[in-house]
Amino acid sequence: MTPKPQQRIRKDDVLTALGYALPVIGGLLGVAYVNTKYMDFINPVWAVGGGALLGWIIARVIRKVLG
């Protein structure tokens, strides 16, 4: 009997997805920060770019540790 294909989410898939998801979440958090803390006068380009870069770095670190 052939075993049924398993639909379990594999660790590699999650780690791969994190590489895309965290920079996006970081960028969105940057947008939120610029709008709520408008008196900090942060350039939105830096906030979005910085958030995305931070998300990417975190994803890399997670992949290094768990991958």
Partner 1 sequence: MAALDQTQVKEGVDQETVDAVREVGTYKYGWETEIEMEYAPKGVNPDIVKLISGKNDEPEWMTEWRLAAFERWTKMDEPNWAMVSYPKIDFQDQYYYARPKSMEEKPKSLDEVDPKLLATYEKLGIPLKEQMILAGVEGAEDAPAEGRKVAVDAVFDSVSVGTTFQEELKKAGVIFCSISEAIREHPELVKKYLGTVVPVSDNFYATLNSAVFSDGSFVYVPPGVRCPMELSTYFRINAENTGQFERTLIIADKGSYVSYLEGCTAPQRDTAQLHAAVVEIIIEEDAEVKYSTVQNWFPGDENGKGGIYNFVTKRADCRGDRSKVMWTQVETGSAVTWKYPSCILRGDDSQGEFYSIAITNNMQQADTGTKMVHLGKNTKSRIVSKGISAGMAQNTYRGLVSMHPKAKDSRNYTQCDSLLIGDKCGAHTVPYIEVKNNSSRVEHEATTSKVDEDQLFYCRQRGMDEEEAVALVVNGFCKDVLQALPMEFAMEAQQLVAISLEGSVG
**Contact assessment for residue 32 and residue 50, using Cβ atoms and an 8 Å cutoff:** no
Give one DSSP letter per residue of 5-57, joined into a string: PP-PPPHHHHHHHHHHHHHHHHHHHHHHHHHHSGGG---HHHHHHHHHHHHHH
Binding flag, residue 7, partner 1 (CB under 8 A) = no
Binding flag, residue 36, partner 1 (CB under 8 A) = no
Stretch that binds partner 1, among 8-16, 20-28, 37-45, 52-60 (CB under 8 A): 37-45
Binding flag, residue 41, partner 1 (CB under 8 A) = yes
Q: Among 36, 38, 64, 65, which residue sits at the site for partner 1 (rule: CB under 8 A)?
A: 38
